[in-house]
Structure formats: structure tokens, C-alpha cells
Structure 1
Amino acid sequence: MSASSGPEFPQRALDWLSGGRAGAGDRVLTLGCAPGFCRMLSRRGVDLFAIHREPEIAARCNQMPATTGICALAESLPLDPCSVDAVLIHQSFDRMAPGLVLSEIARVLRPSHCVGVSWMTRDGSVPWVRRLTALLRSVDPSAMSGDYGTDSVDSLLSSKYFPTTEQSRHRIWVPVSRQGLVEMATSLPGIRRADEQQRTELVQRVEQLHDDSAGPGGLLLPYQLECWRAWVSHDELTASIQVDDAGLRIRL
């Protein structure tokens, strides 16, 4: 569930995720990220390579400044060894094969650089959000629940290619209007399948919840941004990485 304006990715979190390697002139690789995340990076002036398995998304990324959109699999990267300063994966690590992708990420990262993995999820610890959840589940028991994919990060934390890992969390508050909260609630598939009377009653209760919970500045919807970064070690790669600075010489 997201607010109408959507949560913005904090710049301080991006700096932390990349190990400070997401600034002007840095070479950054994204894997399976949405165009909005890639656009945020392109605006920072990085030399961006956006890998996505969907041709349409790769093509959209390719239209962004200083960005090369590539349709490819994260498990088989068309990049040279030790060629990128940071690898960033937002909301998509759970869709990759860890046994293949982690060695590929290690291969393309420069020594002592890191991969950053992140997820933006709804923060259900705030009292009014818990009340909203209870309201929605009175109509749809599965509302506001599900697997966000964060469990998949365990494969990164235990990887021999990334022996040093760190974690950080950021809470993000997004304004949501009365109408916006109603639209969020009624857009859920289980709520849409309910009969008209149930939806009408639910809308009234959601509106009342908004009015009861909103302060002088309105109502703020909380999100939790969970971030992990892991520093690469090339010691465990099956073959040593050798980069020939002289390039390929062809005698004529």
C-alpha cells in the first residue's frame, strides 16, 4: 500500500547503501530496479548502468541522462570484472537466484566496494495504521499482509563473497489526505470484491479513522526503509580476476 504521492528515497540512505559511491562520476550498476529509482541516480550525475530483464523498462532507463539501459539477466552480467563502484538493488533482490547473482556482483565490483540491497515497506507499528489494518481485515482477512521479500537477504548475509555486512533502517513519513486514504483502502483486491454495502460501510469507517487520527498538519503514512550493504571479497572467486589495463593489442 502506498500513498498517493509515494515515499521518496532519502538521499542519506542512498549514500549509506552505496558506501559513498553514488555521486558525480561514480560508476553505478542497478539490478532490476524501477525507472524511478534509476532516475534518482541519474540526477546525481553518476555513470549509470541499469540492468533489467524487461526490455521496456531497460529502454525507458536508456533515455535518462548518463544512463545505459541494458536488457539482461542479473545472474549473467554483460560487464567487465572490477568495472563498477557500487551495485544497488531496490525491491527486487528476492526475484534473483542467489547462487548465481552474488558471484556475478562480486565479479563486477571493484575491490573494497559494496552492494546495497533495500526494501521500502509499510510500517505497521504506528497505532493508527494498526487500526486501519484491523478495519480492512474485517472485510478482507488478507489485507495489508504479505511477504515483502526481505527474507531473501539472508543469502547475502551468509555469502562467502561478502563477508562484511551492515544494516540500517529509516522511517519515512508521507502525507495522505482523507480521499487518498479511502482510495488506498478501496483499491485492495479483496476490498474491491466485497459487496456494495460492505464497501460503503468500510469507506465511512476509514474516513472516520482519518478524521480521528489526523493532527494539525494532516495524517502521515509511515514507511520503513530497510537497507543492507555488503563489502566484496574477491578471495573466494573460483578464478582470480586480472584486469589488463593495456587492453587488447592486434598486430597488423
Structure 2
Amino acid sequence: MAWLLPEAGSRVLDLCSGKGAFTRDLVSEGHRVFGITTDAATAELIATRVAAATILRARPTQMPFRPRWFDAITIADDRPNIPEVFPEAVRVLRPGGHLALLRTTRDDTVPWVRRLAALIQTHDPTAMTSTTTGPTEEELLADGWFVATDAKAFRLWVPVDRRTLLAMVERRLPVQKLDDTAHRNLLADVGMLFDDIARGHEVKLPYRIECRKAWPDPDRQAAEPSVTIGIHLHW
């Protein structure tokens, strides 16, 4: 958070995802947080969970905010078609403000994680194969909305006990469809792997957090003096 975002007390717009965990983290860091989501149920859920944030139902391609108002805009998921957000992001960011992207992916460079993946993939070839890390620097700069970027990666270790690891494997639909013998054998193998690597009562799943900041083209910011809200109202 310290690297990705401005100093505490900044005005931050979060393009909400999931159940609002990242939105809650922004508030806990002392920022003044606004959030938008297109889904009414999600907006209500996050507004309830994060009472200190202002949550609105709105499209990220039609943000109901005045130009040059936010210190940062955060996107913390693998949102499809992120470039569609760029024009509005540039419009509502203040001069010097930036887009802040965060992606969390599993770190498969750790040997025991590769062993776990190999076990599961014998029955579910699609398991543990995603490597999505969000837009590259070239993609952010491609259309000229942003003129500079910076990136930094962090590693996160998440404690997992034996029961939780087995439950994670069992939740996969292809695993649920296995016959009884194959199901038991897979869980036994995963349990043996856990027992082989565990220290104490847990293992630590490694994740890689990819953070990237992008700064808008100031000329494009200056060219957007107003925004239409609804049909008739303008800032």
C-alpha cells in the first residue's frame, strides 16, 4: 500500500471487486475512499462492510465524478478490458494523480507448489495454470492516455493448515466428479505432501503481488472540462 498509493488522507476511487476486501484496506490506510461497481447487490454488500467508504453503482466507463478530482484510482482484480476505463480514469484524476493496478497470483517457482500442481493436474489439467498479471507497460502506454509507468513486485506468504489445503483441492469441480477411489487417492497424496513439507501445523502458500502505477497525459486531462451525469446534469 505504501508504494502503490499516495500519502494517507488522499482521495481514492476504487473500482470495486469481490466482496470489498481491498476497498476496506484502502479505508484502513486512512484514505478517503469512493467505490464504484455496476452490480447493485455488490454495491450494497460493500457499502455495508465498508461503511466509511462511499459506494456508488456506476459504470467505470461513465464515472459520475467531476474532472481532476482523485489522487489515485485503484483496480485490484483481473478486470477484463481495462483499456476501456482509461479515458474516464484520465479525466477524473487530478494532475499528478495516478492509476494504481494490483494483481495477486500464485508463485509457482516454489518447489512444493509445483509438486502440488502436478498432483492435482493428473485429474484436473486446468488446475493451477493461470499466469495472468494484468496489463503490461506497453499496453498501458499504447493509446497515449498514460505517458509513464512504474512497477514493483512483492511476495506474500499465506499460512494454510492441512484441513484448509485439502478443502481447497476438494472445491475444484473436476475433483468433485472423481470416482470414490480416485478421490480418496488424490486427497491422500495431497495430505502426504502436506505432512512432508509442513513445519508445525501449517504450510505457507506463496503469492506474488504485481503492483503498477501509471500517470496520465496532462494534455488529455486538460482537454476534458466537464462530464455528463444522467441526461441533463453537468459538473
> Residue 236 of structure 1 aligns to a residue in which SS?
helix
What corresponds to 1:11 in structure 2? none
8 Å CA contact 1:85, 1:110 repeated in 2 = yes
Residues 91-170 of structure 1: matches in 2 within 5 Å? 91-93=77-79, 95-98=80-83, 100-146=84-130, 148=132, 150-151=134-135, 154-170=138-154
- The reply on whether 1:83 has 2:69 as its aligned counterpart is yes
Change (3 A) 1:65 1:46: farther
What corresponds to 1:15 in structure 2? 2
**Partner Cα separation in structure 2 for residue 151 and residue 136 of structure 1:** 29
* 1:40 positional shift: 1.3
**Partner Cα separation in structure 1 for residue 92 and residue 85 of structure 2:** 11
Per-residue CA distance 1:187-244 (angstroms, 9 max, x = gap)? 111111111111100011001000111124731110111111111222135x62458x
* 1:153 positional shift: 6.8
TM-score (norm 2): 0.87
What corresponds to 2:223 in structure 1? 240
**Partner Cα separation in structure 2 for residue 217 and residue 169 of structure 1:** 28
Matched positions, count: 224
1:84 partner letter: F
Change (3 A) 1:169 1:157: farther
8 Å CA contact 2:155, 2:209 repeated in 1 = yes
Of 219, 222, 228, which residue of structure 1 is paired with 2:203?
219
Which structure 2 residue ranges, 5 or more long, are not aligned? 227-235
How many percent identity over aligned positions? 33
- The reply on whether 1:48 has 2:46 as its aligned counterpart is no
**Partner Cα separation in structure 2 for residue 235 and residue 97 of structure 1:** 21
1:73 partner letter: R
Change (3 A) 1:210 1:28: same
**Partner Cα separation in structure 2 for residue 190 and residue 153 of structure 1:** 36
> Residue 17 of structure 1 aligns to a residue in which SS?
coil
TM-score (norm 1): 0.82
Which structure 1 residue ranges, 5 or more long, are not aligned? 1-13, 244-252
8 Å CA contact 1:140, 1:191 repeated in 2 = yes
Change (3 A) 1:55 1:96: farther
Root-mean-square deviation (CA, aligned residues, Å) is 2.0
> Residue 163 of structure 1 aligns to a residue in which SS?
strand
Question: For structure 1, which segment, 72-81 or 43-52, has the greater mean C-alpha deviation from structure 2 after superposition?
Answer: 43-52
Structure having the higher strand fraction is: 2
**Partner Cα separation in structure 2 for residue 102 and residue 188 of structure 1:** 35
